[in-house]
């Protein structure tokens, strides 16, 4: 993967409406050609709408926020990686902390979902990160490494070059608290060491930061070594904020 261009991913979470999305996407379209890669991860019911407003030629990629670990069959309510790929998704977020904490996804589930995404030709954005209690206990790097190892255990033989990693300290998500440049730098350096050891030094993996990224802190965070872009929650719902973050990623 090319890490010379930063990637900005908007994660709308469970927000949106047909009318509101159309308005937002009309503005987001201006992020195309800015000098960074951009993706929008919308709720399942709106994926087709995003694709219609932002087709592949728009230069803005489509992503989903979750995927089944299973391929096909009697799994009511699930959405398979093949379906997402069939629809035109490029990315899928896997193992977001809200999935882990609210929907009981454990490390093994996250690993199997990553495998399902890779097998379908999707680019999984695999989220890792520690709670505030884990940070206070001094086990942040241990927790992140455990989460990464669980993914590695499930993807033997698959194209690891397609994986994007996202470090999201759970205490910084939606809280207005942002990790300091020093905290982000330490974890991203550790993740880079891990990817080189486990994936091989010839594989370059994009490592995103997520957690209260705003126009006011984006440039500082994107300047931290080994930060290859951002996973943006709340600010991705406000067109001018999302565009400002894209400009920061492009180095404007």
Ligand X SMILES: O=C[C@H](O)COP(=O)(O)O
> Which residues would be at the binding site for ligand X (CB under 6 A)?
11, 96, 168, 173-174, 210-213, 231-235
The answer to the question of whether 12 is labelled as a binding residue is yes
Residue 233's closest CA among 38, 10, 1, 14?
10
239 DSSP β-pair partners: none
Q: In this structure, are strands 7-11 and 206-210 parallel, antiparallel, or unpaired? A: unpaired
CB nearer to ligand X: pick between 52 and 180: 180
The answer to whether 168 is a known catalytic residue is yes
Residue facing ligand X at closest CB distance: 233
CB closer to ligand X, 171 vs 194: 171
CB neighbour list of residue 130: distance below 8 Å, 6 or more residues apart: 139, 140, 143, 144, 169, 170, 171
Q: How far is the CB of 96 from ligand X (least distance, A)?
A: 6
Q: Which is nearer to ligand X, 57 or 104 (CB)?
A: 104
69's CB contacts (< 8 A; 6+ apart) are 109, 112, 113, 115, 116
Q: Which is nearer to ligand X, 66 or 80 (CB)?
A: 66
State the nearest-atom distance from the C-beta of 40 to ligand X, in Å: 12
Told to judge if 78 belongs to the known catalytic residues of this protein, a careful annotator would answer: no
DSSP letter at 226?
T
> Which tokens hold the place of 140?
């942040």
In the structure encoding, which two tokens stand for residue 221, read together? 């965070």
Residue among 37, 168, 188, 247 flagged as catalytic: 168
Shortest Å, Cβ 97 to ligand X: 7
Binding residues: 11-13, 174, 212, 233-234
Binding residues for substrate: 11-13, 174, 212, 233-234
Catalogue the active-site residues. Answer: 96, 168
């Amino acid at each position: 993967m090319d890490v010379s261009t930063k990637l900005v991913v908007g994660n709308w979470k469970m927000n949106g409406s047909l009318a509101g999305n159309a308005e937002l996407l009309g503005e987001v379209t201006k992020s195309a050609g800015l000098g960074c890669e951009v993706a929008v991860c919308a709720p399942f019911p709106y994926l087709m709408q995003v694709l219609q407003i932002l087709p592949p030629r728009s230069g803005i990629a489509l992503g989903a926020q979750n995927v089944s670990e299973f391929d096909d069959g009697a799994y009511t309510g699930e959405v398979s990686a093949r379906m997402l790929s069939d629809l035109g998704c490029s990315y899928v977020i896997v193992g977001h902390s809200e999935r882990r904490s609210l929907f009981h996804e454990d490390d093994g589930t996250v690993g199997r979902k990553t495998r399902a995404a890779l097998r379908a030709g999707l680019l999984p954005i695999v989220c890792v990160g520690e709670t505030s209690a884990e940070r206070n206990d001094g086990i942040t790097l241990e927790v992140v490494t455990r989460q990464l190892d669980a993914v590695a255990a499930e993807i033997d033989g698959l194209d690891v070059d397609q994986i994007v990693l996202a470090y999201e300290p759970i205490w910084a998500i939606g809280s207005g608290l942002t990790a300091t440049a020093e905290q982000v730098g330490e974890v991203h350096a550790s993740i880079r060491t891990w990817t080189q050891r486990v994936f091989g030094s010839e594989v370059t993996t994009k490592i995103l930061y997520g957690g209260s990224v705003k126009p006011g802190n984006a440039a500082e965070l994107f300047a931290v070594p080994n930060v290859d872009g951002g996973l943006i929650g709340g600010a991705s719902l406000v067109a001018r904020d999302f565009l400002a973050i894209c400009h920061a990623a492009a180095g404007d």
